[in-house]
Structure 1
C-alpha cells in the first residue's frame, strides 16, 4: 500500500530544512517527471499546449516548456501573468529561449494543465470556468500537473474541472485525488519524486492507498483438512431473500467450507447451501442485514449479541440496535445513505448525502475516532475502509459494480473471510479488493454484470 497525505507543504519544507534542497530544485524535478512521461509516450515534434497560471503550478508548466523546447512543438498559454517569485523566475528563463507564446488555446496533441494545482482554495470565476470547459472540449491527450484544476484541497469540484487522462502529482499522493467527486477527473495517477526518493520525502500518515498485492486470497495450503477446517458462515435471510442467497453463493465461492442460511421459512436454495432456523453450533461468522426488511427485534438482538465475527449491512443501519455492537470488532458496509443514518444514530452528525459526499474522509475519520474497534467500509466509487482512525482507500471501483446485488456479493465475501479466521480489517480489505478487481476483469459490456458474473470472476482471481 502507498501513503496518502492531506497536505504536502510540510513535506516540501522538510526537504528544505533537512536535505538542504530548495524550491527551484523541487520544481525542476516536478517538471522533469512530466517531461519524461511525454518523451516516453509521444513521438518528437508533437504539439504541446501548456496552460499556466500565475502561481507555482504555473511555474511548473514554465519549466516544462523549457525542458520540452526544440524536441516538441511547445506552445505556452499564460492564463494570467506570473505572480509568485518562482513563476517570475521561471518565466524570465523561458523568455531567454524564445519559446512560442500563444494568445488563444487550441487542440494540440497534448494539453498540460498547470493552472492551479493544490493551490485552489476558492470557487473559480467565469474566465477560468470557460477556459477549462474549452480545454475539456478538445480531443487532445490531457495531463494535469499535481491535481486537475477545479479540484480543491478537500477533493471537491467546481462546476468546470479539468478532465485529465493522467495526473502527475508531486512528491506524494494527496487525499483530494481520491474523493468520489474527483474520480472522473484525475485519470491515471503517477507520483513524481522531488529531489529525493519518495520513501525519504514522505513521513507518517493515517491514510493509505491499497494496491492489488494487498489482497490476500484464502488459498488453501493445508492438505490434511476437511470442510470444517475452513469455517462455517451463517447468512441471515430477511424478507428480500434473494439478497441473502446472493451473499451465500458469494461466500461459498470465496473459500469458506460451509454456508447455511438462517430462515424460518423453507427456501429454494442451491444444493451446496444449507438451511437452519437458528445459528449453527459450529458457526464461525455471521452475515446480517442484506434484504432484511421487517424483522423480529428480539431475535435480531440475540444474533447481534452472539460472540461470533459479524459483517453487518443495509437495513440495520436505520435501527438503534446497531449501536449495541459499535464497541466491538464488527465490519459495517454502508452505502452513503445508510452511513448518514448511522452518523445520526450515533450522534456524530446530522447531514445530507451531498454533505457526506463532499467530505467523505472527514466523516469516516469522525466515526472511526468514536468507534475505534469497528471496521467501517464506506461504499462508493473509491471505497474507504477504516479502523482505529487509520483509513485505507480502494480506488479500483468502477461503474461496472453499479448493479443490484453487488453489495450482497461483497457481504458474502467479507463473511467468508471472517469465517475462515481473517481479522475484521484484513477481511474487509481483501474482500473489497477482490470485489473491485473481479469487476475490473469483467470482459463483457460494462452495463451487463450480474451477481453471478461477479462471483465467477472472483473465483478466477
Structure 2
C-alpha cells in the first residue's frame, strides 16, 4: 500500500530546508515525469502536443515540459490563457522564449492536436472556476486527443469536489505523493490512470507519517490453505442470518463457502432452498466463529436481534441495521460495518455526527469516515462507493479498483459473504474488510464480458480463480 496525504506543500518545504533541494530542482523533475509519460504514450514524432498552462507553479511545470519536449515532436504548442504570475512561471517562460516554442493566443487556434497536457490548476484549487476557465476546459475536453493532467485534473478542488466542470484525463501524473483530493468518487470519473511523479528524492525521504493509505493489488492476502493436518473446523464456521430478503442471505452464504470458510450455516425461521453444502438452523450454532446479518431482517423482532448481537463473536453488519437504534449499543471492535452511502447517512444521524443527505456525503466522504473513526476507533467501517473507504483506529484505506460492473443487486451481499468468511477463518476485522474488498473488486475488474452483465454468481466464480 502507498501513503496518501492531505497536502504535500509541507513535504516540498522539507525538501528545500532539510535536503537543500531548490524549488527549481523539484520543478525540473516534475516536468521530467510528464515528459517520460508522454514519450511512452506518443511514439509518433510527427505529433502535435498542446500544453495548457495556468498562472502558478502548476503552469510552470507545463512551461518547463515544453522546453524538455522541444525538437522531440513536430509541434510543441503552449497556451497561456491567463498569462503567468508566479516567479517560477516567469523564469521558465523566459527560458522558453529563447527557444521560440510556438504559443497561441486563443482556444480557436487549436487544430489537429494529438495530445493535450493540462497544467492549468494544481491540487490547491479552492474556489469555483470563472466562466472563461470553464469554457477553456470544456473546449479541451472536446478535443479528440490523448489527455494527461499534471498533479490533478483542473477543476477538481483540494477536497476532491468539482464545482461545475473538470478536465477529463486519460492519465494523471500527481507530483511527489498521492493526495486525498484524487480519491473522491466524483474525481474518479476524471483521473484516468493515476501515477506519481518523482521530484528528485526517494519516497522514504520525501514522505512523512500518515493515517491514509492507497491499497494495491499486491496487498491482497487470499485465505490459501497452508495447513496439511487440517479438517473443516480448522477454517472456521460462518453463520449468515437470513431474514425476509432470502436471496441476499443465500448469496452471502454461497460467497462465504466459496471463499474458504470450512462450514457455513444459514440461520432461518423456516427451511428454504439453498445450495446443498450450506447447512440450515433456527439458531446460531455453538461453534460459530463469525456472523453476517442485516440483510432483510423483517422477520426478526428486536429481542431476537439483540440476542444475536450480544454474542461475543465477530460480525459483519449490513443493510437494515443501519436504520435501527439497536446498533448504537454494539459499536465495538468485533464489528465490520458495510453501509452504502444512503445507509451511512442514516448511521451518521443515529450516532449524532451529522444529519446529511447522500449528495452532501459524496462531496466529502473521507471527512465523515474520519469523524466516524474518531468516535468509534475500534469499529471497522467499509463505506461502499466508486472508491471503497475502509477505516479502523483512525486509519483509512482506499480501494480504487471498483467498477460500474458492481452496480447490480446482490454485489453487496457477496461482499458481506466474503467478509464473514474471512472473519470465520481468523482474519481480524480490518484485514477481513480490506482483503474481501480487494478480492471483490479485482474479480469484477477482470470480468471479460459487457460490464452491464456481471451477476453475483459471476463474482463467486471469479473468486475461485483470482
Number of the residue aligned with 1:94: 96
Aligned to 2:316, what secondary structure does the other structure show? strand
- Alignment partners' CA distance in 2, 1:53 and 1:384: 32
- Alignment partners' CA distance in 1, 2:40 and 2:434: 34
- Alignment partners' CA distance in 2, 1:38 and 1:185: 18
Shift of 1:137: 0.9
- Alignment partners' CA distance in 2, 1:39 and 1:451: 41
- Alignment partners' CA distance in 1, 2:455 and 2:140: 37
Number of the residue aligned with 1:183: 188
- Alignment partners' CA distance in 1, 2:334 and 2:64: 51
- Mapped pair 1:310 → 2:315: yes
Alignment RMSD, CA only?
0.8
Contact 2:333 2:380 in 1 (8 A): no
- Alignment partners' CA distance in 2, 1:396 and 1:79: 36
- Mapped pair 1:57 → 2:58: yes
Taking the TM superposition and a 5 Å limit, the aligned residue runs for 1:375-454 are: 375-454=380-459
Number of the residue aligned with 2:29: 29
Contact 1:142 1:166 in 2 (8 A): yes
- Mapped pair 1:9 → 2:9: yes
Taking the TM superposition and a 5 Å limit, the aligned residue runs for 1:154-173 are: 154-173=159-178
- Alignment partners' CA distance in 1, 2:123 and 2:88: 16
Size of the alignment, in residue pairs?
Answer: 461
Match of 1:252 among 225, 240, 257: 257
Aligned to 1:372, what secondary structure does the other structure show? coil
Shift of 1:229: 1.0
Aligned to 1:234, what secondary structure does the other structure show? strand
Contact 2:54 2:84 in 1 (8 A): yes
- Alignment partners' CA distance in 1, 2:251 and 2:41: 44
Shift of 1:224: 1.1
Match of 1:284 among 281, 289, 298: 289
Structure 1: segments with no counterpart, 5+ residues: none
- Give the stretch that moved more between structures: 289-298 or 227-236: 289-298
Number of the residue aligned with 1:266: 271
Deviations 1:47-95 (A, max 9, x none): 1000011111110000000100111120001111100111111111111
Shift of 1:178: 0.6
Contact 2:81 2:106 in 1 (8 A): no
- Alignment partners' CA distance in 1, 2:390 and 2:364: 15
- Give the stretch that moved more between structures: 284-293 or 267-276: 284-293
- Alignment partners' CA distance in 1, 2:116 and 2:296: 48
Match of 2:81 among 64, 79, 82: 79
Contact 1:242 1:291 in 2 (8 A): no
Deviations 1:164-197 (A, max 9, x none): 0000000000000011010000000110111201
Contact 2:220 2:438 in 1 (8 A): yes
Shift of 1:294: 4.7
- Alignment partners' CA distance in 2, 1:305 and 1:328: 13
Shift of 1:42: 1.4
Aligned to 1:153, what secondary structure does the other structure show? coil
Match of 2:155 among 145, 150, 155: 150
Number of the residue aligned with 1:219: 224
Structure 2: segments with no counterpart, 5+ residues: none
Shift of 1:139: 1.5
Shift of 1:40: 2.4
Shift of 1:291: 2.5
Deviations 1:369-417 (A, max 9, x none): 0001000000000000000110000000010100000000000000000
Aligned to 1:167, what secondary structure does the other structure show? strand
Aligned to 1:391, what secondary structure does the other structure show? strand
Aligned to 1:118, what secondary structure does the other structure show? coil
Shift of 1:103: 2.1
Aligned to 1:123, what secondary structure does the other structure show? coil
Deviations 1:408-445 (A, max 9, x none): 00000000000000000000000000000000011011
Shift of 1:295: 2.4
Shift of 1:218: 0.4
Contact 1:172 1:202 in 2 (8 A): yes
Aligned to 1:117, what secondary structure does the other structure show? coil
Shift of 1:111: 0.1
- Alignment partners' CA distance in 1, 2:333 and 2:61: 49
User: TM-score with structure 1 length normalisation?
Assistant: 0.99
Match of 1:336 among 329, 337, 341: 341
- Mapped pair 1:123 → 2:114: no
Q: Which runs of 4+ in 1 moved over 4 A?
A: none
- Alignment partners' CA distance in 2, 1:198 and 1:56: 21
